[in-house]
């Protein structure tokens, strides 16, 4: 090998190092630029993966036109409707209750809030609770006193902060829907490019890991979202029969809480407490019993079969992925956590059993 070849090799190595540094720097700069919208973009990817089978089926049944706008717009609109519908229902219910709340506030201003009857029936601490209630809530002028306490610079700053945060979340929600529309519209091209890039960077292993993560998201949607909606529907019927106030809202709250492991007991426990406060002991016990039965069946039989069966992931790791993901990423962690765990388990199986066992 001559000196010219060595120079060319050293030059190629230097260029490779410089290209790697350039790519790493640009990636870091890009992440910094989109960091404020990264969570919304990941939400759009998760929603696109979860809904892609339905989207592909609708597109095969009714092929889109040349511009491919109709079905992406329809599915994006459905997602927006499903996400905004609970907020609209809450707003309507709040409007219906506004008149009663105003009348109750005027009565509290004139005479205070009387001690509820159920406090006298408490097995322990009834006298102490009654004394505290009479000292702080049962006197006239309560609303004016609370207004004076809240009318501070700190509360005004808090209001501005909450308003700015709300505007920011509305912007992120709009960006998520926009990204979801383009993912639906350009999904085939994105998948093809991702496969080529994965093949060049990681070989066949990269596509296997990606398929496992996609399967994990599908299983998580089935095991958490669909099962949670089913729990909310069943317990909503129980709420209506037991006489829980606003059973539809409590059913929706239970459905959302049931998507998080061990979250449903908080919802039907609150419904049982409301019944107990009104003196309905037997309906409260029925709500508690029905809630524990429904959640026990869902958490121990239905969810492990749906999530673990899709990804061949032990339910312990599914649970760790969900809880750890929620703690790290919030609600988004419900889907990101199990997907990461599924990829790690796949890599572990490849390492210990070989690629054939992982497949």
How much is the pLDDT for 146? 56
**CA distances for 241 relative to 190, 276, 331, angstroms:** 49, 15, 31
Mean pLDDT per 10-residue segment, the chain (359 residues) = 63 79 87 87 90 90 80 92 79 65 61 64 68 63 56 59 78 92 91 85 79 82 83 91 85 85 86 83 90 87 71 73 82 83 82 64
Q: 3-state class of 254 per DSSP?
A: helix
Burial of 337 (0-12, 13-18, 19+ CB in 10 A): buried
Q: Is the dihedral of CA 114, 118, 121, 122 positive or negative?
A: negative
Q: Distance between CA 35 and CA 43 in Å, rounded?
A: 13
Report, in angstroms and rounded to the nearest whole number, the Rg of the chain calculated over CA atoms: 27
Q: What pLDDT was estimated at residue 182?
A: 93
CA 140, chain centre distance (Å) = 43
Q: Are 313 and 216 in contact (CB under 8 A)?
A: yes
Q: pLDDT value at position 107?
A: 61
- Which pLDDT score is estimated for 55? 92
112: left (phi over 0), alpha (psi -120 to 50) or beta: left
Contact 304, 316 (CB under 8 A): no
- 212, 219 Cβ separation under 8 angstroms: no
Measured over the CA atoms of residue 335, residue 341, residue 347 and residue 349, the dihedral's sign is: negative
CA–CA separation, 37 and 175 (whole Å): 8
Is residue 198 within a helix (H) or strand (E), and if so which, with residue range?
helix 187-202
Q: What is the DSSP string of 213-243?
A: HHHHHHHHIIIIIIHHHHHHHHHHHHHHHHT
| Cα(10)–Cα(217) distance, integer angstroms | 45
């Amino acid at each position: 090998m001559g000196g010219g070849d060595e120079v060319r090799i050293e030059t190629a190595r230097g260029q490779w190092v410089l290209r790697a540094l350039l790519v790493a720097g640009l990636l870091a700069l890009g992440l910094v630029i989109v960091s404020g919208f990264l969570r919304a973009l990941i939400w759009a990817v998760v929603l696109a993966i979860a809904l892609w089978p339905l989207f592909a089926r609708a597109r095969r049944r009714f092929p889109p036109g040349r511009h491919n706008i109709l079905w992406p717009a329809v599915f994006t609109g459905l997602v927006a409707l499903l996400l905004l519908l609970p907020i609209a229902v809450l707003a309507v219910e709040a409007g219906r209750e506004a008149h009663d709340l105003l009348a109750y506030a005027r009565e509290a201003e004139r005479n205070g809030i009387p001690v509820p009857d159920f406090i006298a029936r408490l097995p322990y601490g009834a006298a102490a609770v009654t004394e505290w209630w009479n000292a702080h809530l049962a006197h006239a002028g309560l609303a004016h006193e609370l207004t004076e306490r809240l009318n501070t610079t700190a509360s005004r700053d808090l209001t501005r902060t909450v308003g700015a945060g709300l505007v920011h979340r509305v912007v992120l929600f709009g960006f998520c829907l926009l990204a979801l529309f383009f993912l639906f519209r350009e999904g085939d091209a994105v998948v093809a490019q991702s496969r080529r890039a994965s093949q060049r960077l990681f070989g066949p292993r990269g596509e296997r890991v990606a398929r496992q993560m996609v399967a994990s998201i599908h299983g998580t949607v089935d095991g958490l979202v669909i099962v949670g909606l089913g729990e909310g529907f069943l317990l909503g019927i129980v709420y209506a029969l037991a006489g829980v106030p606003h059973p539809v809202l409590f059913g929706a709250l239970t459905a959302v809480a049931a998507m998080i492991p061990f979250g449903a007991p908080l919802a039907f426990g609150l419904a049982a407490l409301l019944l107990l406060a009104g003196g309905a002991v037997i309906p409260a016990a029925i709500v508690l019993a029905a809630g524990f039965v429904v959640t026990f069946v869902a958490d121990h039989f239905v969810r492990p079969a749906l999530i673990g069966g899709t990804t061949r992931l032990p339910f312990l790791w599914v649970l760790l992925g969900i809880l750890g993901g929620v703690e790290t990423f919030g609600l988004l962690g419900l889907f990101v956590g199990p997907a990461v765990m599924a990829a790690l388990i796949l890599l572990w199986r490849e390492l210990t059993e070989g690629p054939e066992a992982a497949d």
